[in-house]
Structure 1
């Protein structure tokens, strides 16, 4: 019944990679990897969300402000607000929404 999965651990750094880990009527969790120097282009989220950085170093850009996020830090952001992410190092993070 229970199974440990290595989806996040084995997710490659190949520019921008997005893997849906969980999808229900009330919750979605995405695993995202960004290769060093890659930009996750400007987009919006359909719901309020939380970004949790697992490894690496990223900058989250929203409302003309830059927020550097380090491993094991998190950042909440509102739905439908344009934002984009840049990786200073190979990085992996979760989006929980």
Structure 2
């Protein structure tokens, strides 16, 4: 099955999934040479072990509650919270509640002057 990514100037709707959260999987909204945007869907209790992203990232909590650990410090994010990390900062994620988050990753040097 082909993955459909958004096209430039296409409107993407990122409202909370609500009761549908259990039937939606994580998916990439779009990916270019410069950046990638992912809607990460996490059921309560789901953990993503410590890892590193190739570039700077933002994590915007759309709904639910997650524990985001970076620089050895756990931080709780709820709907409306935004977190920024430098490239290659190790981090881990755990869903405290059913949650979805918007993750953006800057890739390579394409976005830099």
Q: Provide the C-alpha distance between the structure 1 equivalents of 2:10 and 2:33, rounded to a whole number of angstroms.
A: 22
SS in 2 for 1:13: helix
Q: Provide the C-alpha distance between the structure 2 equivalents of 1:5 and 1:77, rounded to a whole number of angstroms.
A: 24
Where does structure 1 differ by over 6 angstroms across 4 or more consecutive aligned residues? Answer: none
Pairing 1:45–2:53 present: yes
Gaps of 5+ in 2: 1-6, 106-113
Q: Name 1:95's counterpart in structure 2.
A: 103
Q: Name 2:32's counterpart in structure 1.
A: 24
Say which one has the larger Rg: 2
Using the size of structure 1 for normalisation, the TM-score is 0.83
CA deviations over 1:30-78 (Å, ceiling 9, x no partner): 1101100111121110000100000000010011101110101100011
1:50-65 aligned at under 5 Å gives the runs: 50-65=58-73
Gaps of 5+ in 1: none
RMSD of aligned alpha carbons: 2.5
Normalized per residue, which structure has more strand?
1
Aligned residues: 95
